[in-house]
């Protein structure tokens, strides 16, 4: 045992001495200033969104009444700004304290993304790696008995993505907030019951986030609450957001209630224990006014750009939080509020949920639920919009209604996702290609095509099919704008008298980039 311990101590020392390679890499990055960022084509989008305010209000108000919420508070963030907010009801029924958007609600599991953001910030500082075994920071985990002999050890990434193999622990985890770290370590010492070997399945785990809280404390040398406050909340101006309800001015604190037997019954508020890590899974208390700042941070990470990166965490790390790390479901018959059926697939990221629908819309979100409270925020990065809502009723549901609100905003305002302008090289290759089409004269000598192109595409076939389509299209051809998929791939339409032609091409990774793939096809003319 002494030998094993000595080896572990030596390994820990060596590990702690690793150079901060992430910082070195970040400083060495060079970039292309000509990179074109996706933009919104509609300059009046914020004005058009205002047309939806009254409808948003009515949707949330009805939802609160239908679900017996004592109070509801909600907000809409557009392009990094909390543009609309409102509240209804009472945060303290006995005192008839009116809710406001500065009222502070316990947001439960919405806290989880802050925990993951802190982990990523420590990673960016070179203080840990996501694929490190968790036992490097919590030695008690070294003695876990895994379900199988071939099980991988639990990593930090497993904990962040709900894939450590722990069982789903709602609502058990809801009652652990007040436990201290001594309780947590004693719990681990008695062994953890696994539902799966680590790394093979998604299963929501509050325990996994409590362990992350412990890791943050270990690595930073600060209570995880203090680390998050100093490094995330304060830089974002979230002055009153906290983990402990005793820190909140009484007239600003939302009390929690359970609707039972046709009346509201007040729930006990649990303290955030000073030396407890369970708060990492769900103890945060915030307001719509301040949480809007956090949503703005997430939306500001899109699209990738060359602006100064001066947030509390790198934009690339925020985008990393929106990446699906652990797939968790496919619903082929998902039904939106307007009755349309649209398949959706979902995954868990780092402290957030990810969903993509059949119309290729992406949603990033997380709900929160505790005795006395329910909440959710949901953003659409490609549309630059997001909504957040809090209520003080046990497990207040918001998933469906927030989708309805976003869907309503898009329809009323006629919103479209950002469009990516064509890069200089795409435009250049398009123009050069049009000088060659339709007869492909001197194409092999043009210097436009990659070395694979003509071996993959016999010139006689290219000429034959191209001439057929151009002849079929007729005269008075109109060449439309390039539609970029990315910096090196896109398509454009040639409108003809009788048919339209679509030309697609993708460029090679060499510099300068050459056409490596080309497709041409007939497409139906749009009905006038």
246-258: average pLDDT: 97
- Model confidence band, residue 190 (pLDDT cutoffs 50, 70, 90): very high
Residue 7: per-residue pLDDT: 38
pLDDT in tens, 30-46: 888 888 899 999 989 99
**Domains in the chain with CATH codes:** 45-413 (3.40.710.10), 424-523 (3.10.450)
Q: What is the mean pLDDT of the chain?
A: 93
Asked whether the predicted pLDDT for residue 513 surpasses 60, the reply is yes
Residue 10: per-residue pLDDT: 37
Residue 526: per-residue pLDDT: 78
Asked whether the predicted pLDDT for residue 147 surpasses 90, the reply is yes
Single out the residue of 508, 392, 390, 512 nearest to residue 456, CA to CA: 508
- How many Å apart are CA 392 and CA 70, to the nearest integer? 6
Residue 180: per-residue pLDDT: 94
186-211: average pLDDT: 97
- Model confidence band, residue 28 (pLDDT cutoffs 50, 70, 90): low
Q: What is the pTM of this model?
A: 0.92
H/E stretch holding 45 reads helix 45-50
- How many Å apart are CA 135 and CA 361, to the nearest integer? 39
Asked whether the predicted pLDDT for residue 435 surpasses 70, the reply is yes
- How many Å apart are CA 10 and CA 197, to the nearest integer? 28
Asked whether the predicted pLDDT for residue 191 surpasses 60, the reply is yes
pLDDT in tens, 358-408: 999 999 999 999 999 999 999 999 999 999 999 999 999 999 999 999 999
Asked if 73 and 387 count as a contact pair (C-beta separation under 8 A), the reply is no
Residue 528: per-residue pLDDT: 65
Residue 254: per-residue pLDDT: 98
Complete DSSP assignment for 484-505:
EEETTEEEEEEE-SS-EEEEEE
The CA-to-CA distance between both ends of the chain, in Å, stands at 81
pLDDT in tens, 91-137: 999 999 999 999 999 999 999 999 999 999 999 999 999 999 999 99
- How many Å apart are CA 482 and CA 502, to the nearest integer? 11
**SS3 sequence, 336-369?**
CCCCCECCEEEEECCCCEEEEECCCCEEEEEEEE
Surface-to-core class of residue 360, CB atoms within 10 Å of its CB (0-12 exposed, 13-18 middle, 19+ buried): exposed
Residues 6 or more apart whose Cβ sits within 8 Å of residue 68: 259, 264, 393
Asked if 334 and 342 count as a contact pair (C-beta separation under 8 A), the reply is yes
The three-state secondary structure class of 507 is strand
- How many Å apart are CA 264 and CA 258, to the nearest integer? 6
Surface-to-core class of residue 178, CB atoms within 10 Å of its CB (0-12 exposed, 13-18 middle, 19+ buried): middle
- How many Å apart are CA 129 and CA 122, to the nearest integer? 9
Q: Any idea which of 4-18, 272-286, 370-384, 444-458 has the lowest mean pLDDT? A: 4-18
Residue 524: per-residue pLDDT: 86
499-527: average pLDDT: 95
Asked whether the predicted pLDDT for residue 55 surpasses 90, the reply is yes
Q: Which sign does the torsion angle of CA 255, 259, 261, 263 carry?
A: positive
- Model confidence band, residue 21 (pLDDT cutoffs 50, 70, 90): very low
246-267: average pLDDT: 97
Residue 27: per-residue pLDDT: 57
Phi and psi for 252 in degrees, rounded to 5? -100, -15
Complete DSSP assignment for 69-123:
-SEEEEEEEETTEEEEEEEEEEEETTTTEEP-TT-BEE-GGGGHHHHHHHHHHHH
Surface-to-core class of residue 9, CB atoms within 10 Å of its CB (0-12 exposed, 13-18 middle, 19+ buried): exposed
């Amino acid at each position: 045992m002494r030998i094993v311990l000595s080896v572990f101590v030596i390994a820990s020392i060596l590990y702690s001495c690793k150079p901060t390679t992430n910082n070195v890499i970040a400083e060495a990055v060079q970039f292309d200033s000509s990179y074109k960022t996706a933009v919104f084509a509609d300059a009046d989008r914020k004005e058009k969104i205002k047309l939806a305010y009254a409808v948003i209000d009515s949707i949330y108000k009805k939802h609160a009444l239908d679900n017996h919420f004592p109070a509801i508070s909600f907000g809409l963030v557009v392009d990094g700004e909390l543009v609309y907010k409102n509240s209804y009801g009472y945060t303290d029924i006995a005192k008839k304290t009116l809710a406001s958007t500065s009222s502070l609600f316990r947001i439960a599991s919405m806290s989880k993304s802050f925990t993951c953001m802190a982990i990523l910030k420590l990673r960016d500082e070179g203080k840990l790696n996501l694929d490190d075994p968790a036992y490097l920071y919590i030695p008690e985990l070294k003695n876990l008995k895994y379900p199988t002999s071939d099980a991988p050890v639990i990593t930090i990434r497993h904990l962040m993505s709900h894939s450590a193999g722990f069982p789903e622990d709602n609502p058990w985890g809801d009652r652990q907030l007040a436990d201290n770290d001594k309780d947590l370590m004693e719990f681990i010492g008695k062994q953890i019951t696994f539902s799966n070997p680590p790394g093979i399945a998604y299963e929501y785990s509050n325990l996994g986030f409590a362990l992350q809280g412990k890791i943050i404390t270990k690595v930073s040398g600060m209570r995880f609450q203090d680390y998050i406050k100093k490094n995330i909340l304060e830089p974002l101006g979230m002055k009153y957001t906290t983990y402990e309800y005793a820190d909140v001015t009484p007239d600003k604190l939302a009390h929690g209630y359970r609707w039972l037997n046709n009346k509201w019954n007040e729930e006990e508020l649990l303290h955030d224990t000073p030396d407890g890590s369970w708060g990492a899974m769900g103890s945060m208390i915030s307001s719509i006014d301040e949480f809007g700042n956090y949503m703005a941070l997430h939306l500001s990470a899109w699209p990738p750009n060359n602006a100064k990166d001066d947030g509390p965490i790198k934009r690339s790390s925020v985008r990393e939080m929106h990446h699906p790390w652990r797939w968790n479901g496919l619903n082929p018959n998902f039904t939106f509020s307007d009755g349309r059926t649209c398949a959706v697939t979902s995954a868990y990221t780092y402290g957030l949920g990810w969903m993509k629908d059949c119309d290729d819309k992406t949603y990033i979100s997380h709900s929160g639920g505790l005795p006395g409270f329910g909440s959710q925020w949901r953003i659409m990065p490609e549309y630059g919009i997001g909504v957040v809502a809090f209520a003080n009723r046990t497990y207040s549901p918001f998933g469906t209604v927030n989708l309805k609100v976003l869907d309503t905003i898009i329809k009323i305002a006629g919103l479209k996702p950002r469009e990516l302008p064509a890069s200089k090289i795409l435009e250049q290759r398009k123009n050069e290609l049009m000088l060659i089409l339709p007869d492909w004269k001197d194409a092999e000598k043009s210097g436009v095509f990659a070395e694979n192109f003509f071996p993959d595409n016999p010139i006689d076939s290219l000429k034959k099919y191209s001439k057929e389509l151009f002849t079929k299209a007729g005269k008075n051809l109109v060449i439309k704008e390039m539609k970029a998929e990315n910096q090196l791939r896109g398509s454009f339409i040639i409108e003809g008298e009788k048919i339209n032609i679509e030309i697609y091409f993708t460029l090679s990774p060499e510099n300068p980039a050459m056409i490596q793939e080309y497709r041409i096809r007939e497409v139906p003319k749009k009905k006038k």
